[in-house]
Amino acid sequence: MEFRKTTECEIDRIMAILMDGKAALGALGIDQWQGPGYPERSIVAADVARGESYAVEDAPDHIAATAMVSFSGEPDYDEIEGAWLTDGTSSAPSYGVVHRVAVGADSLGRGAARFILESAERLAREKGARSVRVDTHPGNVPMLTLVASCGFTECGIIRIKHADGGVPERVAFEKLV
């Protein structure tokens, strides 16, 4: 598998993968990503333009999964019920953040989501970050299980501002790198 930045011409495939993820969450009865239009194409295009959209290729010319990985801070992480392992804030981030993790329906069960988290850790080390942070809906058992199995520590609860009428609470995790 290869972890690389997404190009503009791949946005349609990234959107298809995100819609697969949205459908999977809906099938589990999770309200995350179930609002109208989210995740929006404009968000993915902005991620690509900033160099923060990543793709996992599991075969030549086949994108299996996607995620956004950023090192510019996350305002929703400035307030937490609990405590982060590191003291970085959105105005002075010492961490990387992983958002919008999704695997295409045709690629489930091949380890692509785990590969995303491992690759985010590698990027964090390369960029001199102290840790990687990720959050997920409290009902997203597959993601909760994956994050814990990858050695992330549950740190508490954060509240996102863009819950689209769904539950704003997210379980927050961090892993030192």
pLDDT in tens, 46-103: 999 999 999 999 999 999 999 999 999 999 999 999 999 999 999 999 999 999 999 9
Tokens 């995740």 correspond to: 39
Distance of alpha carbon 111 from alpha carbon 65, whole angstroms: 10
Under 8 Å between Cβ of 21 and 34: no
Distance of alpha carbon 140 from alpha carbon 85, whole angstroms: 22
- Residue 36 in this model has a pLDDT that exceeds 80: no
- Residue 119 in this model has a pLDDT that exceeds 80: yes
Q: Mean pLDDT throughout 4-27?
A: 96
Q: What pLDDT was estimated at residue 111?
A: 97
Q: What pLDDT was estimated at residue 35?
A: 76
- Residue 28 in this model has a pLDDT that exceeds 70: yes
The pLDDT confidence band at residue 34, using thresholds 50, 70 and 90, is confident
Under 8 Å between Cβ of 153 and 167: no
User: What digits encode the pLDDT tens for the residues 121-160?
Assistant: 999 999 999 999 999 999 999 999 999 999 999 999 999 9
- Give the residue, 31 or 3, on which the prediction is more confident: 3
Distance of alpha carbon 112 from alpha carbon 107, whole angstroms: 8
Under 8 Å between Cβ of 29 and 82: no
The pLDDT confidence band at residue 45, using thresholds 50, 70 and 90, is very high
Alpha helices in 69-140 (DSSP H): 112-127
- Please give the model's pTM, rounded to 2 decimal places: 0.94
For the chain, percent of residues with pLDDT exceeding 90? 88
Spatial CA neighbour of 19 closest among 38, 6, 3:
38
Q: What pLDDT was estimated at residue 27?
A: 94
Furthest-apart CA pair in the chain: how many Å? 43
Under 8 Å between Cβ of 13 and 63: yes
Q: Please, what's the b/e burial string for 24-51 (b: 16 or more CB within 10 A of its CB; e: otherwise)?
A: bbeeeebebbbeeebbeeebbbebbeee
Under 8 Å between Cβ of 118 and 111: no
